[in-house]
Amino acid sequence: GIQVEQSPPDLILQEGANSTLRCNFSDSVNNLQWFHQNPWGQLINLFYIPSGTKQNGRLSATTVATERYSLLYISSSQTTDSGVYFCAATFSGTYKYIFGTGTRLKVLA
């Protein structure tokens, strides 16, 4: 079946460090989003990025649809960046978003 895989599963950073999170998907995507889930469970939109590159402050994302992966870059990390980062994708024009298993990030002060 269609799969969305994320790596690494866990990441510990010192404040100020940079990181790259990866999302691989097994088929051509129609939609792709990156989310940050905070410790209280709230999922916050970071990017809607089925293709191309976007930047928002210290965060940026790139999706290379032809090679079936997306990357989320976090620069100058802060303790408030801690939480779980998910990518989610739909395939073949459906509403059915499939979520990856997430990358759990902890940023140490």
Partner 1 sequence: ETGVTQTPRHLVMGMTNKKSLKCEQHLGHNAMYWYKQSAKKPLELMFVYSLEERVENNSVPSRFSPECPNSSHLFLHLHTLQPEDSALYLCASSQGNTDTQYFGPGTRLTVL
- In Å, how far are 13, 30, 52 from 62, measured between CA atoms? 21, 15, 6
Q: Is 55 in the site for partner 1 (CB under 8 A)?
A: no
Q: Is 85 in the site for partner 1 (CB under 8 A)?
A: no
Q: Rounded to the nearest whole angstrom, what is the least distance from the CB of residue 52 to partner 1 in the complex?
A: 15
Tokens in use for 9? 């599963």
Closest C-alpha among 81, 2, 93, 17 to residue 46: 81
Q: Rounded to the nearest whole angstrom, what is the least distance from the CB of residue 73 to partner 1 in the complex?
A: 19
- Interacting residues with partner 1 (CB under 8 A): 4, 30-31, 33, 35, 40-45, 48, 86, 88, 90, 93-102
